[in-house]
């Protein structure tokens, strides 16, 4: 009888594949109305001599059933946990969703670098209008109406007195009028000239620089510009100053640096000269200082100007200026 119970129990146990069924088996065998309880209730009806043995057997099987139930319970709990973990599994090795990033325009990048270098040398940053008065763009800079220097600049006129600024030099004038010396700032911004080919676009960018104080010398100018070129292009780049002419500076110079493409040996970019012109500069003409009401006996200074596109083209070895403005994503992605 007891053996039969054991056999049936194991059959039931094997067929229990979840905790709910296992619990039903527990009730079936050990519950108040369970199989074993029923057996125990039968004990008094047995002959007294058999009772101890049968009682013992029933107790043994009860212990066995309890043990088997609890080990099966542990097994089923573990299996359920595994099943749950498996269903909640996230594959973190899957590639993420691709979001294309924009990048900084190469001109903005170079401009930021230029500005940063001059800020480190103590210059502040000044801005001015792109639609400018003839007075600030020419007149105040010692370029009167019939001056031949106006021809160099291919000006876009809006009216007789209003134009698109052809250089950032008018910001010199506006900046000086606003201040009293000492003055030290750079003026980055867009400028416009009616010109278009492989090395000219109708709009391009310049950075102008100005420093006015007592006893400013040409060697101060050289020091600032050589430092700038070395920080921008490398410490070993040779630099030379060539005499030149600008109406608003006297003396004036153009500044060349050794061609970084051919290391001064001569190539297509430097037209076989080994040198690249990158800056215009000079000591501010006293007439310009007078125009803004500065005491020319006490103050003097230097100014310089450079084209941002030109610097970017040299830095990134780009041979057509128009690439900067075509917004071809394949070009822009490279920076």
State phi, psi for 47 to the nearest 5 degrees.
-60, 140
| C-beta closer to ligand PHE: residue 69 or 191 | 191
The closest residue (CB) to ligand PHE is 305
Helix axes 19-30, 35-42, angle to 10 degrees: 10
The residues pairing with 282 across neighbouring beta strands, listed in sequence order, are 252, 303
Closer residue to ligand PHE, CB minimum distance, 5 or 288: 288
Q: Which stretch binds ligand PHE (CB under 6 A): 224-232, 265-273, 300-308, 327-335?
A: 300-308
Among 303, 312, 313, 321, the residue binding ligand PHE under the rule CB under 6 A is: 303
| Beta carbon of residue 154, minimum distance to ligand PHE (angstroms, whole number) | 12
CA torsion, ordered 129, 134, 136, 139, to nearest 10 deg: 170
Structure tokens at 17: 């594949």
Binding to ligand PHE (CB under 6 A): which residues in 228-267? Answer: 246, 249
Q: Which stretch binds ligand PHE (CB under 6 A): 38-46, 93-101, 275-283, 316-324?
A: 275-283
Angstrom distance (rounded) from CA 170 to CA 142:
11
* Residues in 1-30 at the binding interface with ligand PHE, rule: CB under 6 A: none
- How far apart are the C-alpha atoms of 247 and 258, rounded to whole Å? 27
Q: Distance (Å, rounded) from C-alpha 183 to C-alpha 208?
A: 13
Tell whether residue 304 is a contact of ligand PHE (CB under 6 A).
Answer: yes
State in angstroms the smallest separation of the CB of 295 from ligand PHE.
Answer: 21
Backbone angles phi, psi at 29, to 5 degrees: -100, -40
Between 10 and 245, name the residue whose CB sits nearer to ligand PHE: 245
Question: By C-beta, is 16 or 207 nearer to ligand PHE?
Answer: 207
Q: Does 106 bind ligand PHE (CB under 6 A)?
A: no
61-63-69-73 Cα dihedral, nearest 10 degrees? -170
Closest CA to 266 of 275, 257, 279, 256: 275
Of 117, 140, 143, 281, the one binding ligand PHE (CB under 6 A) is 281
Looking at the Cβ atoms of 71 and 296, the one nearer to ligand PHE is 296
Contact of 229 with 278, CB cutoff 8 Å:
yes
In contact, 34 and 27? CB cutoff 8 Å: yes
- Of 311, 257, 319, 278, which is closest to residue 106 (Cα–Cα)? 311
**Pattern 117-146, ligand PHE, x by CB under 6 A:** ------------------------------
- Dist CA 331 CA 145 (whole Å): 42
Helix (H, G, I), strand (E, B) or coil at 246: strand
Selected binder of ligand PHE within 9, 256, 305, 314 (CB under 6 A): 305
Which span sits near ligand PHE by CB under 6 A: 2-10, 45-53, 55-63, 279-287? 279-287
Task: List the x/- string, 156-185, binding to ligand PHE by CB under 6 A.
Answer: -----------x-x----------------
Radius of gyration of the chain (CA): 45
Output the six-digit token pair for 123: 């210059």
Least distance (Å) between residue 263 CB and ligand PHE: 27
**Residue 130 Cβ, how far from ligand PHE at the closest point, in Å?**
14
Chain residues in the site for ligand PHE (CB under 6 A): 167, 169, 208, 246, 249, 280-282, 303-305
């Amino acid at each position: 009888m007891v053996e039969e119970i054991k056999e049936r129990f194991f059959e039931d146990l094997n067929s229990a594949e979840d905790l709910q069924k296992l619990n039903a088996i527990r009730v079936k065998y050990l519950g108040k109305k369970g199989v074993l309880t029923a057996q125990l209730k039968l004990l008094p009806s047995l002959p007294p001599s058999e009772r101890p043995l049968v009682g013992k057997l029933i107790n043994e099987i009860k212990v066995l059933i309890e043990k088997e139930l609890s080990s099966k319970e542990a097994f089923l709990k573990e299996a359920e946990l595994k099943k749950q973990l498996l269903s909640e599994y996230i594959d973190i090795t899957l590639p993420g969703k691709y979001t294309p990033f924009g990048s900084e325009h190469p001109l903005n990048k170079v401009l930021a670098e230029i500005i940063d270098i001059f800020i480190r040398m103590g210059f502040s940053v000044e801005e001015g209008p792109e639609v400018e008065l003839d007075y600030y763009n020419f007149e105040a800079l010692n370029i009167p109406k019939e001056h031949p220097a106006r021809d160099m600049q291919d000006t876009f006129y809006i009216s007789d007195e209003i134009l698109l600024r052809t250089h950032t030099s008018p910001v010199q004038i506006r900046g000086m009028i606003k201040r009293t010396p000492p003055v030290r700032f750079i003026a980055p911004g867009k400028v416009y000239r009616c010109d278009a080919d492989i090395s000219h676009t109708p709009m391009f960018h310049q950075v102008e620089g100005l420093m006015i104080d007592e006893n400013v010398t040409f060697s101060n100018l050289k020091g600032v510009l050589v430092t700038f070129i070395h920080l921008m292009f490398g410490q070993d780049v040779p630099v030379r100053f060539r005499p030149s002419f600008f109406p608003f500076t006297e003396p004036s110079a153009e500044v060349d640096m050794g061609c970084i493409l051919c290391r001064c040996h001569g190539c297509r970019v430097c037209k076989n000269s080994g040198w690249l012109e990158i800056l215009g500069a000079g000591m501010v003409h006293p007439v310009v200082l007078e125009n803004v009401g500065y005491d020319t006996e006490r103050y003097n200074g230097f100014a310089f100007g450079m084209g941002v596109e030109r610097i970017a083209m040299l830095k990134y070895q780009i041979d057509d200026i128009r690439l900067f403005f075509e917004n071809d994503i394949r070009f822009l992605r490279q920076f």
